[in-house]
A and B are shown apart, each in its own frame.
Chain A
Amino acid sequence: DGGITQSPKYLFRKEGQNVTLSCEQNLNHDAMYWYRQDPGQGLRLIYYSQIVNDFQKGDIAEGYSVSREKKESFPLTVTSAQKNPTAFYLCASSQDYRGGYNEQFFGPGTRLTVL
């Protein structure tokens, strides 16, 4: 079955530690995205990537970093510079982000809690 996997589902870290969230897709999609979701809030874009070795900042990129070394993988690192990292993190992909029709497929999410 094609889809997007994120691991782990729950993650706990101490304040001041960097942590990397995994996102893998086998849909052969070109574009991948990272969103952050806080309680009662919509999805806010952190970073996105259209193609391998290229990525763009979203609305809330400060304190985060990404890489896109393979088409299938788009890991997100939450650094110690992120002031309030506790949140639900969602990874998504789409065939192509250009144009109007760009259905996004989401992974199950990782709930990060920083203690």
Chain B
Amino acid sequence: GQSLEQPSEVTAVEGAIVQINCTYQTSGFYGLSWYQQHDGGAPTFLSYNALDGLEETGRFSSFLSRSDSYGYLLLQELQMKDSASYFCAVPTSGNTPLVFGKGTRLSVIA
């Protein structure tokens, strides 16, 4: 089977930097994705890592270490609107859809 572990809640101050970790166990590896979901809303795609290293997209960056089965999402210059749940997700194989972690609820405080 496959499983993903991420912290259930994180709180950070506006303007600060926060890192949300994700560890995974899969029979094969086809990349790690991150999605954002505001309360009551639809998840939206943030990033995808297939290779080791850091991918940067504006204030958000995502990191992957395949040898450690670990990745993280880094949010810089936090804004109140970043308060949301963040999910890491992996495909279980090349022919099956994504499996999602349980999500990390980020609260940005003033």
Binding site for B on A (CB under 8 A): 31, 33, 35, 40-45, 48, 58, 90, 92, 94, 97-109
- Of all chain B residues, which has the CB nearest A9? B40
Question: B residues engaging A (CB < 8 A)?
Answer: 8, 30-31, 33, 35, 40-45, 48, 50, 87, 91, 94-103
Question: From residue A109, how far is it (CB to closest CB) to chain B in Å?
Answer: 6
Q: Are B43 and A100 in contact (CB under 8 A)?
A: no
- Chain A interface main SS type: loop
Are the CB atoms of B91 and A106 closer together than 8 Å? no
Consensus secondary structure, chain B interface: loop
In the A-B complex, the 8 residue pairs with the closest CB atoms: A100-B31, A100-B30, A106-B42, A42-B102, A42-B100, A43-B100, A103-B45, A97-B97
> Is there contact, CB below 8 Å, between A98 and B94?
yes
Q: Closest Cβ of chain B: how far from A60's Cβ, in Å?
A: 12
Contacting residues, chain A, for B99 (C-beta < 8 A):
45
Q: Cβ of A44: which chain B residues have Cβ within 8 Å of it?
A: 100
Separation in Å of the A95 CB from the closest CB of chain B?
12
Q: Answer whether A104 and B45 are a contact pair too, CB < 8 Å, given A98-B94, A99-B30.
A: yes
* A48 partner residues in chain B, CB cutoff 8 A: 97
Q: Which of B96, B98, B99 has the most chain A CB atoms inside 10 A of its CB?
A: B98
| Chain B residues in 8 Å Cβ range of A43 | 43, 87, 100
A20 and B99 CA atoms in complex are apart in Å by 24
